[in-house]
Structure 1
Amino acid sequence: MSLDAQHQFSAAERDTIYANIALRRDIRHFVPGGRVEEAQLQRMLNAAHQAPSVGLMQPWRFMRLRNTQRRAQIQALVELERQRTAAALDARAAEFLRLKVEGIADCAELLLVSLAADDGTVFGRRSMPREMALCSAACAVQNLWLAARAENLGLGWVSMFEPQALAELLHLPAGSMPLGLLCLGPVATFYERPMLDELGWRQARPLADMLMDEPPCQED
C-alpha cells in the first residue's frame, strides 16, 4: 500500500528537510534593525505549536518581548549570569568572556519560551512528570528553530539567566518556568559549523560516539 500524495515526500523534498536540519545553527549575531514579517512569525509559531507532546499536554508557552526597556532589563539578567558562569569556569573564564552568548539587543524578535504550570497530565509521564514536560517544550523549540532556518532567519536559544528572576520580571503565572530567550531575526551569514566548534570552545562529537548496542540478555 502506498501513501497518499499528502503524506508522500519526493526525493527533493526529503533532501531539503535533511539539509535544513544539517544547516540549522544556534545564532548569536544578527543584522541590527532587521525585521521579521508578521506572516513569517505566525508560520514559525504555528510550526512550534505543531510539535509532539507527551499525553498531548502542550506545555509550551511563548511570550513576545517587544518593549525596549524590558529587553534592557532582560539583558542585564543575562549579563549577571554570564559573569557568574565565567567565575565558575576558573581557568577558561577569560576565554569564555570573549564569546558572544546572546543577540538580545540586535535581534528583530525576542521570544520567551516557558513551561506552563503542571496540568496534571498522567498519560506517558507518570514516572517522569517534569522530564516529559521539558522534552515536549524542547520539541516545540526545535520546530521553531527549523522553521526559522526554512525562512532563512537565524534563531539563538539563550539560557543564561536565573529562572525565578526572569519569571518575576515578566510576571509569569505561578507554577510556570522560563526555559529560554529565543533571539530571532535576519543574519548576514550563517556559521559554517556550530559557533562553539568554529571558535574552538568545544568540538562536536561524531554520531558513532553516541550509539550503543543493547547488552546481552541474561541466561536463565
Structure 2
Amino acid sequence: MRPDPVAEPQGPVAASPFSTEERDAVYKAIETRRDVRDQFLPDPLPDDLVGRLLGAAHAAPSVGFMQPWNFLLIRDRDVLQGAWEAFARANEEAAALFADERQALYRSLKLEGIRKAPLSICVTCDPDRAGPVVLGRTHNPRMDVYSTVCAVQNLWLAARAEGVGVGWVSIFHDRDVRALLGIPERVEIVAWLCLGYVSELYDQPELAAKGWRQRLPLEDLVFRDRWGNR
C-alpha cells in the first residue's frame, strides 16, 4: 500500500473582508442564536446536516492545535431517558436553591430538550490529546476546555444558519452522565447539547423574555487600559 502523499505546506492567503451579505449573515446568526429549551420538533436531522455541524465544530480554534474535543451522538431513547432522569434529579436540587417567587419562576421554565429533541451531543475535552506539554497551555491548564467551548459555539452558530435549534443542558451531576455514557475519568464533560428543528424562536433570549434576567449594557462592561477605567 502506498503511503498517502504529504500535503504541501500552505502559505498565507488574502485576508479580504466578506461581502456585505456574507458579513450580515454572520452577525444575524450571532444575534438570533437562542438556547432552545422546549420548542423542538420530532423530525430527525439528516446525517449530512449533522456532518456539517460537526465539521463546523471541528473547525474551531484550539490552543496548540490540540483539538481536544470528542462528540458523542446520542439518539437511543433509553440513553436519553437516563440522561433526563439525571437532569430531573439535579433540577430538583437546583430549584431548592432559589426562594419564593424566584423558585416559582424557575419551576415554570420548561426544560424538555433531552426528551423532545431527536439528537443529543455530549461534547467532551481530552486533556491528553496533544501530550503532557501543549503549546499555549503551559501556564493556563484550562486552555483545552476553553478551546472545546469554541467548538460548541461554532456548532451553535452553524446550527442557527441551518434552522436547527440547540439547547445546552448543564444541570446534572457529572458522575451520572459519565456513568451513563462510559466516559473515562480523565476526559472532561463540557456540554450536553440538544439539537432539533424548531418551528419558532424567541425574538430575544428566553430568560430575558420571561423576566429572569436582562442583557447588561455593553458600555458597563468595557474598560480602557486598566480594570475599572471607563
In structure 1, runs of 5+ residues without a counterpart are none
Choose 75-84 or 24-33, whichever is displaced more.
24-33
Contact 2:66 2:134 in 1 (8 A): no
Residues 7-55 of structure 1: per-residue CA shift (max 9 Å, x gap): 5421111111111111111111234422211110000000000000011
Q: TM-score, normalised by structure 2?
A: 0.87
2:129 counterpart of 1:120:
no
Contact 1:167 1:177 in 2 (8 A): no
1:41 to 19, 36, 50: 50
* SS in structure 2 of the partner of residue 104 of structure 1: helix
* SS in structure 2 of the partner of residue 181 of structure 1: strand
When residues 81 and 209 of structure 1 are mapped into structure 2, their CA distance, relative to the original with a 3 A threshold, is same
Contact 1:158 1:181 in 2 (8 A): yes
Between the aligned residues of both structures, percent identity stands at 38
2:174 counterpart of 1:169:
no
2:19 counterpart of 1:10:
yes
1:196 to 195, 199, 207: 207
Q: Report the CA distance between 1:196 and its aligned residue.
A: 0.3
- 1:96 paired residue number: 106
Contact 1:117 1:174 in 2 (8 A): no
Distance (whole Å) between structure 1 residues aligned to residue 132 and residue 22 of structure 2: 39
When residues 83 and 137 of structure 1 are mapped into structure 2, their CA distance, relative to the original with a 3 A threshold, is same
Instruction: Give matches, 1:66-215, under 5 Å.
Output: 66-91=75-100, 92-118=102-128, 119-129=131-141, 131-215=142-226
2:51 counterpart of 1:52:
no
Q: TM-score, normalised by structure 1?
A: 0.91
* RMSD, aligned CA: 1.8
- The residue type paired with residue 181 of structure 1 is W
Distance (whole Å) between structure 2 residues aligned to residue 125 and residue 156 of structure 1: 29
Distance (whole Å) between structure 2 residues aligned to residue 76 and residue 186 of structure 1: 23
In structure 2, runs of 5+ residues without a counterpart are 1-11
Q: Report the CA distance between 1:121 and its aligned residue.
A: 3.7
2:32 counterpart of 1:23:
yes
How many residue pairs get matched? 213
